[in-house]
Amino acid sequence: MVLLSLLRLFAVELGGRQPVARAALRETGPGLAAALRSPGGPDELEASFEACFASLVSQDYVNGTDQEEIRTGVDQCIQKFLDVARQTECFFLQKRLQLSVQKPEQVIKEDVSELRNELQRKEALIQKHLAKLRHWQQVLEDISVQHKKPAEMPQGPLVYLEQASATIPAPMKQT
């Protein structure tokens, strides 16, 4: 829905009274404003989406007993929506191609911006993994320290007997 609102705003600006909008319309060609209003434009995309939603909650379908008829109606609405979505996607891909031919520096700026965003995202992911790694290294270190302490201080009943027998003097030899 946000995309549709932006498209409408863009179309209004292009057809508006402002000189900048008129210049933009001349720069992109008269086809942009016409294409936004033509079949496959955002209005038709929104209408076909609303038809899909309406078909799913329609009382006719809820009260209907023929499941095959309901399924066919919903499938037709969804298919129309998908067709209009493909037309809209083709329109934007064509405009993107025209932009890349007319203003290649703009495409390069967008690519650089996307790469920077990706690097920031990956750097944040690396920092997250490093923090986890430090945490688990600390856990392992704590465990190894705990295992060393019992080895230094023997425990158990046999150890007590060994210590007690070490303090008893050995019997003297009788000759």
In this prediction, residue 152 carries a pLDDT of 54
Indicate whether 16 and 93 sit together in one domain: yes
Residues composing the chain:
175
11 by Cβ neighbours in 10 Å (0-12 / 13-18 / 19+) ranks as: buried
pLDDT at 20: 33
Same domain, 142 and 119: yes
pLDDT by residue for the chain (175 residues), tens digit each? 444 444 444 444 334 433 333 333 344 444 545 544 555 577 888 988 888 888 777 766 556 567 788 788 889 999 999 999 999 999 999 998 998 899 999 989 999 999 999 999 999 999 999 999 999 999 999 988 887 765 455 566 666 667 666 667 766 766 5
57 and 111 co-located in one domain: no
- What domain range is 130 assigned to? 103-150
21 and 86, same domain (yes or no) = yes
What is the reported pLDDT for 80?
92
What pLDDT is attached to residue 57?
79
- Looking at residue 52, what is its pLDDT? 83
Instruction: Please tell me the predicted confidence (pLDDT) of residue 26.
Output: 40
Quick one: pLDDT at residue 161?
Answer: 67
Q: What is the DSSP letter of 38?
A: S
Tell the burial category of 68 from Cβ atoms under 10 Å away from its Cβ (0-12, 13-18, 19+). Answer: exposed
- Domain membership flag for residue 66: yes
Residues 44 and 107 in one domain: no
* pLDDT for the residue numbered 53: 82
DSSP for 104-138, written as a single string: HHHHHHHHHHHHHHHHHHHHHHHHHHHHHHHHHHH
Tokens of 142: 């704590």
Q: Which two tokens stand for residue 42?
A: 């955002």
Q: What is the pLDDT of residue 70?
A: 78
Q: For residues 42 and 79, state if they share a domain.
A: yes
- Does residue 87 sit in the same domain as residue 110? no
> Is the domain of 11 the same as that of 81?
yes
Name the residue among 100, 93, 96, 88 with its Cα closest to residue 36: 88
- Residue 9 pLDDT: 41
Residue 46, in any domain of the structure: yes
Please give the structure tokens belonging to residue 166.
């070490």
Establish if 98 belongs to a structural domain. Answer: yes
Let me know whether 120 and 49 are in one domain.
no
Q: State residue 1's pLDDT score.
A: 47
Residues 93 and 119 in one domain: no
Residue 164 confidence (pLDDT):
66
Total domain count for the chain? 2
